[in-house]
A = this chain, B = another copy of it.
Amino acid sequence: MESITVYDIAREANVSVATVSRVLNDTAPVRTSTRQKIMAIIEKHKFQPNALARSLVNKKTGMIGVLFPDSSNMFFPEVFGGAERAAMKLGFTLFLCNTFSNFSRESEYLNLLCERQVEGLIFMGGRINSRHCPELLVQEVVDIQKRIPIVLINGSLPGHPCHRVKTDEYAGTQLIMQHLIDRGHRSIGFLGGSAETTTTMEKLQAYKSTLGANDLPFRKQIVRLGDFSMECGRKLMDQLLSMPNCPTAFLCINDYVAIGAMKAAISHGLRIPEDIAIAGFDDTQLAAAMNPELTTVSQHSEELGSQAMALLSRLIQKEKVKKLTVLEPKLIVRQST
């Protein structure tokens, strides 16, 4: 199982490590007889031209770390898929780390990825979406950024300039709210998300402003936060359906919450969209799979990933790149509204 290193080859050939490295990387001429001796040893031991050893010489690893909050929400594997396709074309390899949005796991992985000498980082979720992130954790990322290019997806580090790719979730929320209002709904509930998360607050602001722009009142009691899960959608919808003035439509923080809400509505004997309209966010593959199919907002998940990777590649090549790339969201009208 043990493989030999450049050190072993150098010893066996009775040459310096530098000479072995020159042969491996073809960076400088080496006497033919020496080269042949080294090649024979490499052949004999089936030596893998060692990317690690090479990276010590070139200071390049071709590796990109991806911090990513949750592989069980399809949105994130979709973003990752886009980043991966772009990375493959650009000659990079991605190193996926599932942080479960846990700050200390994030720190652990950041440390590990720096140790692994990644050439760049893509960061999603966790602290970059946190409204009350301790300054120490922000500083940790800022410090790494001095040495390694970082691109944030759908997040930011307040007070520190960063390279960011995001979908305009504010505009996306306006789009879907206006769609519900245009369908005649006057009372629209807001379900799921967390008050600790910047993206939730952004969507909530857009929800309020669209109500205002249409002369509709904001009613606190039909805004119910929680988390981002199907279970949360089910529970919150159950609560609201037992209220006297239950809304006729619901905007959910994401597709998962929307599906939970649909399930609760169906189990109460309601028809979607005839009795109640429900809309999601993200346009994950779940949305089109549902019955009825879910109206939602596309964040262009794959493109978020591929754009972040393209940007990072340019940063690694020390090109000047604008700080913020914004993708326009797209309303996807299906059967649930």
Query: Which residues of A does B touch, CB under 8 Å?
Result: 1-3, 5-7, 46, 48-53, 55-56, 59, 61, 63, 71-72, 74, 77-78, 80-81, 84, 93-98, 112, 114-117, 147-149, 230, 259, 262-263, 266, 285-286, 288-291, 316, 318
Assembled-state Cα–Cα distance A318/B149 (Å):
39
A98-B71 contact, Cβ under 8 Å, with A48-B117, A116-B51 = no
The CA-CA distance from A262 to B72 in the complex, in Å, is 23
The answer for the CA separation of A84 and B149 in the assembled complex, in Å, is 25
Contact across chains for B117 and A147 when beta carbons are under 8 A apart: no
A-B contact pairs, 8 of them (CB 8 A): A1-B149, A6-B56, A49-B115, A51-B115, A52-B61, A71-B80, A230-B285, A286-B289
Q: In whole angstroms, what is the CA distance A96 to B93 when docked?
A: 9
When the two chains form their complex, are residues B56 and A53 in contact, meaning their CB atoms are under 8 A apart?
A: yes
> Please, which residue of chain B has its CB at the minimum distance from the CB of A96?
B96
* Bound-complex Cα distance A120 to B318 (A): 34
Decide if B53 touches A148 in the complex (CB within 8 Å).
Answer: no
Partner of A148, one of B1, B84, B316, B318: B1
Bound-state Cα–Cα, A56 to B8, Å? 11
B3 to A285, Cβ gap below 8 A?
A: no
Q: Cα distance A97–B259 when bound, in Å? A: 30
Q: Is the CB of A72 within 8 A of B77?
A: yes
User: Nearest chain B CB to A330's CB is how many angstroms away?
Assistant: 19
Whether A81 and B98, one on each chain, are in contact in the complex, defined by CB atoms closer than 8 angstroms, is yes
Shortest Cβ distance from A93 into chain B, in angstroms?
A: 6
Q: Do B52 and A116 touch (CB < 8 A)? A: yes
The reply to whether B81 and A1 form a contact with Cβ atoms under 8 Å apart is no
Q: Please, how many angstroms separate the alpha-carbon atoms of A71 and B61 in the complex?
A: 24
